[in-house]
Amino acid sequence: MKLRPLYFLAIWVAAYYGRNPILAQNTFEIYIGSQQQEYAFNFVLDDDNNYVGIVLKRPSDTAMQKSYLYKISETGDTVSKLFSKPDTVLILRDIIIAAKSPVEYLVTGTGYQKDSSSVFWFSYFARLDANLNIIWEKIYQLHHVHDYSSIPFYPNLLKLNEGGFLHACYLEPRLKMFLFKLSDEGDSLAYRLYEGDSSGMVQDLTYNYDSTAYWLHTHFAHYDPIGPESQCITVDFNLQQTEVKYYPRWLGDHLAAKFHPDRNLIVGSRYRGVTYDPTAYIHYIMAYKLDTGFNVLDSCYITDPVPTTRTGSRALDFNTPNNIYMCGEDGAALSTYPISYNHIAIARMDQDLNLIFEKYIGGDANYASASVVASPDGGVLLTCTRYDYLTQYNERDVYVLKLDSSDFTVGNVECPTSNISDAIVYPNPGKDVINIRTSLRNTYFELYDIHGHLVIRKPINNLITPINSQHIDPGFYTWKIIDRKQVCETGKWIKKFN
């Protein structure tokens, strides 16, 4: 494992906005770079302010995946632990906090014995102490004897108020949904299998608004081809479905849900809408605020409409009412090794989902978002993978970024690897119109030709500013965003010849 020494401890300096002090925050950047194919999944924050999460590694496309847990302190110090068993493929997928004092974790995943072939999949559970040592571990086959070919996908965990845990997964290709209760010691307490219309891909697990039932946030359950794609199923404590609510139409998979202190539900996911052309779609990363009746109170789009978007295993998080974070891919890749570049968009919103900041990470490779974790200091931890088809041969690297809440920076680190910008200019290459998307206000966009001559200067006062570029010649240009004579962002733009 290679960890770049890119973290730093910010000095606690107070600046004042009115009467409220704003404190500098810890920020860091970690590049794992194990020379293997890497993927990141959920991370959580414990009461000791450590971030703990799952990273999968694979030496090659034909090799078996190996599961690691990474533990990162609030200053960026990192340790990892390999989870493996002899002659067993073990793939961790989800992690939650199992106890606070002392800190403990519960992880779940899937696997199979190498000598029995990959058709005999099992579900794996392990409870860990604060040092990632195993307290207990259990293996269950969550399907009937005639369904050995089923593979448990989309595992989710919920810590229960009355003790124990609820687990949900989706069995493919049987298209069945499995609910499973475990005790604090990992013993089986109850289960239920749902099939047909009652079965869907569970994206998240929560209690309902008054903790009198469980909510399964699903995709394609109780599905109507001309209706919403995502649903919220109420399940009583006996694991019986009692009610179905529907999310707004076109809210997609990889949905993350969390209750706001005002008892309204905040959800974030990929959003796919329709255009006037019935065969074309527009994609955003989308957040909704819903009341207990699932009426939309507020909403926020990030990214401009693009052909593809995607969110990771945890697209949204917050731990204070006015610091809501959401992230996803602006221009998601549809292949394992894409020959294209994209950005990850990350946004900070207030409790009414008004956009405070929006930043773009990337543009120099292909990025896939994994998870966001809101931090106690007001910042956010972002995990993602990066692949550059020009420099990496079938190898993705995991990056972990701890960003400051005030302006989404990673501080004064030496040689930062990540490319974080306040704006994106698209399409690039383009032709007749230049679009500038930025949360910066009261600034100017300036475009220069290869001789340094200013050819366009326009004010920016909105989130998206379209600029007519029909009158300029094809070729290479540079652009700047200027704020009171200070350059905020720069980049390159190409006008196509046809």
For residue range 192-209, list pLDDT tens digits in order.
999 999 999 999 999 999
Residue 159 exposed, middle or buried by CB count within 10 Å (0-12, 13-18, 19+): middle
User: What band does 476 get if pLDDT is binned at 50, 70 and 90?
Assistant: very high
Note the pLDDT of residue 415.
Answer: 38
CA dihedral 165, 178, 371, 342 (to 10 degrees): 180
Model pLDDT for residues 278-319, shown as the tens digit of each residue? 666 778 889 999 999 999 999 998 887 666 777 777 889 998
Note the pLDDT of residue 467.
Answer: 95
pLDDT exceeds 60 at position 14: no
Q: Smallest Cα–Cα separation from 408: which of 303, 327, 288?
A: 327
d(CA 55, CA 34): 11
Write the CB contacts of 144 (distance below 8 Å, at least 6 apart in sequence): 193
Model pLDDT for residues 33-52, shown as the tens digit of each residue? 888 899 999 999 999 999 99
* Backbone conformation region of residue 237, classed left if phi is above 0, alpha if psi is from -120 to 50, else beta: alpha
| 349-363, 376-390, 403-417, 427-441: range with lowest mean pLDDT | 403-417
Q: Which of 62-76, 122-136, 164-178 has the highest mean pLDDT?
A: 122-136
Phi, psi at residue 102, to the nearest 5°?
-75, 165
Pick 231 or 143 by higher pLDDT: 231
- 40 contacts 374 by C-beta, under 8 angstroms: no
d(CA 217, CA 197): 15
Note the pLDDT of residue 7.
Answer: 32
**What is each CA distance from 314 to 43, 80, 89, 270, in whole angstroms?**
8, 21, 24, 12
- 463 contacts 355 by C-beta, under 8 angstroms: yes
d(CA 39, CA 18): 43
Q: In what order do the strands lie in the sheet with 151-159?
A: 151-159, 165-172, 176-182, 188-194
Note the pLDDT of residue 390.
Answer: 87
**pLDDT over 90, % of the chain:** 56
- 60 contacts 444 by C-beta, under 8 angstroms: no
Tokens of 306: 């693009």
Tokens of 239: 């694991």
pLDDT exceeds 50 at position 416: no
422-425, long-range: CB within 8 Å, 24+ apart, which pairs?
Answer: 422/359, 422/360, 422/481, 422/488, 422/489, 423/360, 423/481, 423/488, 423/489, 423/491, 424/330, 424/343, 424/360, 424/363, 425/479, 425/491, 425/493
Tokens of 9: 């401890």
HSE-CB of 112 using CA atoms within 13 angstroms: 14
185 alpha-carbon distance from chain centroid: 30
pLDDT exceeds 60 at position 99: yes
29 alpha-carbon distance from chain centroid: 17
> What DSSP designation does 85 have?
B
Note the pLDDT of residue 131.
Answer: 97
Tokens of 396: 């993705």
For 153, other C-beta atoms within 10 Å of its C-beta total: 15
Radius of gyration, alpha carbons of the chain: 23
pLDDT exceeds 50 at position 169: yes
Residues of the chain with CATH 2.60.40.10: 424-498
> What DSSP designation does 350 have?
-
- Average pLDDT for residues 104-120, to the nearest whole number? 82
* CATH code for the structural domain at 424-498: 2.60.40.10
User: What band does 150 get if pLDDT is binned at 50, 70 and 90?
Assistant: confident
User: What band does 275 get if pLDDT is binned at 50, 70 and 90?
Assistant: low
3-state SS of the chain: helix, strand, coil percent to 5? 0, 55, 40
341 alpha-carbon distance from chain centroid: 18
